[in-house]
Amino acid sequence: MDDLIAEFIAETTESLNVLDSELVKFERDPNEGETLKLIFRVMHTIKGTCGFLGLSRLEKVAHAGEDVLVKYRDKELTPTPQSVTIILECLDRIRGIITDIASTGSEPAGDDSQLIAKLKAAAAGKLEGAAAPAAAAPAAAKPAPTTGPVTSDEGFPVAADLLAEIEAAMAAKNKAEGKAEPEPAPAPAATPPVPVKAAPPAAATAATAPPTAKLEPKAADPAKAGGEAKAAAQSIRVNVDVLENMMNLVSEMVLTRNQLLQMVRGRADSEFKEPLQRLSRVTTDLQEGVMKTRMQPVGNAWQKLPRIIRDLSTASGKKIDLQMVGAETELDRQVLEFIADPLLHMVRNSADHGLEGPEERLAAGKPEVGVVRLMAYHQGGHIIMEITDDGRGLNTARIRQKIVEKGLASQGEVDNMPDHEVHQYIMRAGFSTAEKITNVSGRGVGMDVVRANIEKIGGTVDFRSVQGQGTAFTIKIPLTLAIVAALIVEAGDERFAIPQISVNELVSTGRGSDHKVEMVKGAPVLRLRGRLLPLVNLRQLLRLDGAGEPGADRDGFVVVTQAGNKVFGIVVDGIYDTEEIVVKPVAPILKSIPFYSGNTILGDGTVIMILDPNGVADQVVQTAAQIAADEAADKFGLRDETTSLLLFTVGDGSLKAVPLGLVSRLESFPIADLQRTEDGAALAQYRGRLIPVIAMGAAFPWKTGGGQPALVFTDQQRTMALAVDEIVDIVNENLKVEVKSTRVGIMGTAIIAGKTVDLIDTSYFMKQAYGAWFSNDPEEAQSRLRRQRRLLLVDDSAFFRNLLAPYLNVEGFEVVTAENPKRALELRDAGLMVDAIVTDIEMPEMDGFGFAEALKGDPRWGNVPMIAITSRTEEKYRNRGMSLGFKDYIGKDQHKELIRALNECLVEGVES
Amino acid sequence: MTSLPAVSGQSASGLPVLGPGAEKFLTFRVGGQLFGIPALAIQDIIGPQPIAKIPMAPSFVAGALNLRGRIVTAIDMHNALGLKPTDQAKKLNVVVRSGLELYDLLVDDVGDVLSFSMGDLEPNPVSWPEAWRTFSAGIFKLDGELLVVLNFDVLLSTHTKLIDKAA
């Protein structure tokens, strides 16, 4: 039997049983409002539901019954014993039909026209002894009795005589049955004009008819009683709160069991061992049993979908085949509630935006009917739901364009992004609301909301899309929210739980570990298998004790956590066990703290907070977004704050350093293969060609055997190696040149790790290695032109720096950024040479004009062409800028113009 | 408990059902001040408990404690009321219901349950700071001191609003 019908029967049987007792009250006092309302409600529900289920016979009966009841409820008519009888009869009929359906699965055949006619009559107030004119009844003055006889109330063609016939028939039947009412006769004393006397002619026929109609369900009753009892026994309705409470208690029990097990573990001789094992087994079974009571087929959340798809199909003219597989897969009621809406949204999205219209599909060589497929299945404690469509897929090019338009990434970055990464952007908040993208590429409305909802219950959403072939979304959600596995970690002497589902891996960053926490722009990162992983230190995040230090040099662990498509590391002090925890919501006053998804009581009774990976992830967004830009800065070894420096010695014992970013490789050349030249240098084979190996100073102690360690530098097409004595270390330092150097090849001296270190100038050695070669080379000028020009970009807006730097980079410039003129001057003092300066005008402290003035007459940067970029391009600003020596004055958004201006003034510079 | 006043005459009946106008209050002290809270709102009174800190929680939240399997948020009453802790603080826990939630009030000492006729409730002195006037439902005059009838719901919502504003 259809599940829906089974449920309907169980429900209706239940309400009819309730009515049984209520009806007695109703009979005793038909004017009692509450009872009447209850009966009306039941009747109304039956009518509505069976119309939906296609049970037309039942519907007609219930409808007629409802019509009568509504009049009573609205006090248009007053119930009389006769009408009560008819209502009861109507309910009996309903019960009879239900019983039949329960046993056979389909509606029994039968004729209800007599009953319906009687009900109609009752509704029209024309029932014998039914209508209200009893002097006391308030309805006496109501129009019902007067209009009733002539008009066809309720659209039923009731002629006066027919009515009379029916009433007579009813009276006759009552007599024939002779049970419910003693006799209708006493009542008619006050009855309205329509007379009983008119009845006799029809009485004979009518008297025979009702019993047959009545008999059918009646006779069926005894036989079907068993079936009804079964329907009632198969399911009982239990208040959700009761189940919820039971679930909580069982959860507590599981925890206590775990605690006991832990206590007994390791004591082989314990007398508790065996009973405890039994208890443990029973507890597990009980837990499963209780869980089952909360389980519901996922199909319950799918019920609305066919209708929605149908409507959508009609509205859009698309032909859609909605396939649903695995509707019987069960999951927790609570989870089901959470996913119903996101699911609806995604299916609608797939059908609405994913699928093409029939013409477009045919043109693309696809079948006319588009398929939206919904699939659910279990997989390792999770339920997986897939929503697949064979539509047009995501329009990757359009999304790329949109990403750039929205300033989320630069053109260069976007071009290098693999498709799946591009697709991830549709899950972004700002992105999804964009009207255009939904029209063009199909997806995006509220996908961020969908994701947020699913993540809220510890689920994940993933998707892949192939343009022209369709999109597949995969939702992974836990079976239940009540108990989750969690990793217990410690930070600043406090313990926290991190849901296991979000934890990808654990990395130790302690002493002796391969992994080190590095600092990029003051933000900690972890280099993990070649990728930079943004980190968030839990002690700092939650402002726990000892939060002052960044924790780079402490023993610790990184919990690699995934929240949606964001992967980041949480730095913790220690890691305990994994534990099954019962998630309890946090108190309302703590809801404003974004870092907790709940709290729980551990086996030992302590209360701990459960971290919400999504809340924590929001704290690292900034860092994650900056990492790419920082890595670019890394390349030039000129990061704003800390720099990775390679420390080495060149024989004289003093430490030398070079930014690690400049070193393309650490190499050891076999001495035997080194070809020494007269000027103290050498040539070595490197990747199939000869490169110069330069030594620092004439006294450099070349190795006599084995390998000669060297640092390989590459600048555009040129590669050279710098021979070193020994590579000492790699350190992260706040690079600050203390003393400028006059020595060749040395940029300056800095204090690094407490020692005085010379910072070498790689460009000097590059010149040394290639200078001679170029001097007479006609190609040299060309080559110099092509040589990467170094720009200094000064802008106080990090956004613009991040936007413009990669852009200029792609255009072939090496870009050094500074967040203000002061910083730029520091770079100058540190010995930085640049070919051009691009600066913002409006900046706090020192503005662009001030900066230009400061550079006027400067021996090093005084002649460097300067270009102003600003949002204020009005003539007077322009003139002031030009008078201060700016080569050009360009709007901030005019990138092409900027490139043109740069090329212009750089060529000038070369020629002059 | 000795420091607290004796039960006033009206509570003599001792019946759980109170007549109209009479209500029972649990008395407790915070920073030397005597407070009363309707006895019907009290869930539990327990001795000092281990309280787990909740990092980043507002300062008036002392932490959370495990009350027979239920997690209850502990309120640092000194902080919430702006009173200085006294030396004799015993750190007792008064667990109260507020809506569907339970909250644990960390108080210095717990006294008797007193019964008052609501007719004797006097309005808050106008000289009080505004914050006090909002969360005090009024005062009862006892021998030599005042009992402040604490409206905990208001106290809580006042603080919650402050957090929301800050957020």
Residue contact A589–B164, C-beta within 8 A: no
> Which of B50, B64, B164 lies at the smallest CB-CB distance from A599?
B64
Encode pLDDT of B71-111 as tens digits.
Answer: 899 999 998 888 887 777 778 999 998 887 889 999 999 99
Q: Does A359 touch chain B (CB under 8 A)?
A: no
Model pLDDT, residue B68: 77
Residues 6+ apart with CB under 8 A from A772: none
Residue A401 has pLDDT above 50, yes or no: yes
Measured from the Cβ of residue A698, the count of other Cβ atoms closer than 10 Å reads: 7
Please write the tens of the pLDDT for every residue from A458-483: 778 888 888 888 888 888 887 766 67
Lowest mean pLDDT among A401-410, A737-746, A751-760: A737-746
Model confidence at B15: pLDDT above 80: no
Are the beta carbons of B56 and A542 separated by less than 8 Å? yes
| CA–CA dist A672, A197 (Å, integer) | 134
A494 to B167: CB separation less than 8 angstroms, yes or no: no
pLDDT at B105: 94
Output the DSSP codes for A737-794. EEEE--STTEEEEEEETTEEEEEE-HHHHHHHHHHHHHHT-THHHHHHHHSPEEEEEE
Amino acid at A715: D
Residue A692: both structure tokens together: 């110069």
pLDDT by residue (tens digit) across A865-906?
888 887 766 777 777 777 877 888 887 767 777 888 887 777
Q: Which of B135, B130, B73, B137 is nearest to B106 (CA)?
A: B73
Q: How far is CA A139 from CA A37, A90, A194, A316, A353, in A?
A: 18, 24, 18, 52, 57
Q: What is the ipTM of this complex?
A: 0.82
At residue A361's C-alpha, the angle toward residues A355 and A366, to 5°, is 105
Each residue of A75-102: b (16+ CB within 10 Å) or e? ebbbbbbbbbbbbbbbbbbbbbbbbbbb
Tokens for A741, please give them. Answer: 């150097």
The region of weakest confidence among A83-92, A135-144, A441-450, B80-89 is A135-144
Average pLDDT score over residue span A287-314: 81
Q: Work out the average pLDDT over A786-803.
A: 73
DSSP summary character for residue A371: E
Instruction: In whole angstroms, give the CA distance from residue B125 to residue B140.
Output: 11
Q: Do B57 and A599 touch (CB under 8 A)?
A: no
For residue B164, list chain A residues with Cβ-Cβ distance below 8 A: 592
Q: Which residues of chain B approach chain A closer than 8 Å at the C-beta?
A: 50, 52-58, 61, 63-66, 69, 71, 73, 101, 103, 156, 159-160, 163-164, 167
The count of other CB atoms within 10 Å of the CB of residue A370 is 26
Torsion A129-A132-A135-A141 (CA) sign: negative
- CA dist A660 and A667 (Å) reads 14
Chain A closest-CA separation from residue B152 CA (Å): 13
**What three-state secondary structure class fits A816?**
strand
Partner residue opposite A590 with nearest CB, options B53, B54, B65: B54
Q: Do the Cβ atoms of A589 and B73 come within 8 Å?
A: yes
Q: Cβ contacts (< 8 Å) between A605 and chain B: which residues?
A: 66
State the Rg of chain A over Cα.
42
CA distance linking residue A103 with residue A123, whole number of Å: 32
Q: What is the pLDDT of residue A210?
A: 40
Reading the block at residue A764, the tokens are 């000097």
CB of B26 closer than 8 Å to CB of B42: yes
Name, of A67-81, A406-420, A801-815, B55-69, the range with top average pLDDT.
B55-69
Whether residue A546 lies within 8 A of chain B, CB to CB, comes out as no
Q: Which among A691, A684, A695 is positioned nearest to A722, based on CA atoms?
A: A695
Chain B residues lying within 8 Å of A600, measured CB to CB: 71
CA distance A308 to A302: 10
Q: Is the pLDDT of residue A639 over 60?
A: no
Q: Which residue of A has its CA nearest to B54?
A: A609
Looking at residues A495-510, what average pLDDT do you find? 88
Per-residue HEC secondary structure of A143-189 comes to CHHHHCCCCCHHHCCCCHHHHHHHHHHHHHHHHHHCCCCCCCCCHHH
Return the structure tokens found at B31.
Answer: 């920073």
pLDDT average, residue stretch B29-58: 90
A769 φ, ψ to 5°? -75, -35
Q: Does A542 touch chain B (CB under 8 A)?
A: yes
For the residues of A818-855, what is the DSSP string, one character each?
ESSHHHHHHHHHTT---SEEEEES--SSS-HHHHHHHH
A600 contacts B64 by C-beta, under 8 angstroms: no
Output the pLDDT for position B25.
92
User: Two tokens at A812?
Assistant: 């072939």
Residue A489 has pLDDT above 90, yes or no: yes
Of A218-227, A770-779, A786-795, which has the strongest mean pLDDT?
Answer: A786-795
> What local confidence, expressed as pLDDT, does residue A179 receive?
43
DSSP state of A21: H
Please choose, from the candidates A105, A103, A107, the residue with its C-alpha nearest in 3D space to the C-alpha of residue A226. Answer: A103
Place of tokens 């019954």: A65
**pLDDT score recorded for residue A304:** 76
Decide: helix, strand or coil at residue B73: strand
**Minimal Cα distance from A255: which residue of B?**
B69
Query: Quick one: how far is CA A796 from the chain centroid?
Result: 34
Which of A243-247, A337-341, A611-615, A731-735 is predicted least confidently?
A: A731-735
Tokens representing residue A73 in the block: 């409820």
Exposed/middle/buried for A907, CB within 10 Å: 0-12, 13-18, 19+? exposed
**From the list A544, A584, A607, which residue is nearest B55 (CB)?**
A544
Among A252, A542, A587, the residue with its CB nearest the CB of B73 is A587
Q: How far is CA A3 from the centre of its chain?
A: 32
Range from A696-700, A778-782, B52-56 that averages highest in pLDDT: B52-56
* CB A372, CB A320: distance < 8 Å: yes
pLDDT digits (tens, 9 = 90+) for A162-177: 555 555 555 555 544 4
Which residue has better confidence, A813 or A390?
A390
Cα radius of gyration rounded to whole Å, chain B? 16
Closest-CA distance of chain B to residue A244, Å: 14
Structure tokens at B133: 């006037």
Tell me what percent of the residues of chain A surpass a pLDDT of 90: 3
More confident residue, A802 or B115: B115
Confidence category of residue A729, pLDDT binned at 50, 70, 90? confident
- Better-predicted residue by pLDDT, B55 or A310: B55
CA–CA distance, A375 with A393 (Å, rounded to integer):
19
pLDDT for residue A611: 92
Residue A335's identity, in one-letter code, is V
Token pair recorded at residue A782: 């060309």
**Is A608 touching B (CB cutoff 8 A)?**
yes
Q: How confident is the model at residue B156, as a pLDDT?
A: 86
Q: What CA–CA distance (Å, rounded) separates A905 from A887?
A: 7
Measured between alpha carbons, how far is A528 from A562 in angstroms, rounded to an integer? 14
Q: What is the pLDDT of residues A838-868, one digit of tens each?
A: 888 878 778 888 888 888 777 778 788 888 8
**A750-785 b/e with 16+ CB inside 10 Å = b?**
bebeeeebbbbbbebbbebbbeeeeeeeeeeeeeee
The 3-state DSSP class for residue B3 equals: coil
Residue of chain A whose Cα is closest to the Cα of B156: A589
Of B63, B69, B159, which has the smallest distance from its Cβ to A252's Cβ? Answer: B69
Higher confidence at residue A198 or residue A27?
A: A27
In the predicted model, what is the mean pLDDT of chain A?
A: 73
**Predicted confidence (pLDDT) at residue A337 exceeds the cutoff of 70:** yes
Instruction: Say yes or no to pLDDT of A408 above 70.
Output: yes
Residue A184 has pLDDT above 60, yes or no: no
pLDDT digits 0-9 by tens, A187-198: 444 444 444 444
Query: 3-state DSSP helix/strand/coil percent for chain B, to nearest 5?
Result: 20, 45, 35
What are the residues facing A330 on neighbouring strands? A297
Query: DSSP label at B89?
Result: -
* C-alpha span between A458 and A382 (Å, rounded): 10
Residues A681 and A761: their CA atoms lie apart, in Å, by 17
Q: Which of B52, B101, B167 sits opposite A587 (nearest CB)?
A: B101
Report the C-alpha gap between B155 and B138 in whole angstroms: 14
Over the range A529-559, which residues count as b (16 or more CB within 10 Å of their CB) and which as e?
eeebbbbbbbbbbbebeebeebbbebebbbb
3-state SS assignment for residue A319: coil
**C-beta of residue A654 within 8 angstroms of C-beta of residue A660:** no
DSSP for A467-485, please give it: TTTEEEEEEEEES-SSEEE
Helical pair A113-123 and A81-104, crossing angle rounded to 10 deg:
140
Q: Considering only alpha carbons, which residue of chain B is nearest residue A249?
A: B69
Rounded distance, CA A559 to CA A504, Å? 8
- Long-range pairs, A306-314, Cβ under 8 A, ≥24: A308/A344, A308/A347, A308/A348, A309/A347, A309/A351, A309/A372, A312/A348, A312/A351, A312/A352, A313/A351
Q: What tokens does A187 get?
A: 């009542």
Q: Which residue of A has its CA nearest to B101?
A: A587
* Mean model confidence pLDDT for chain B: 81
The secondary structure of residue A493, as a DSSP letter, is T
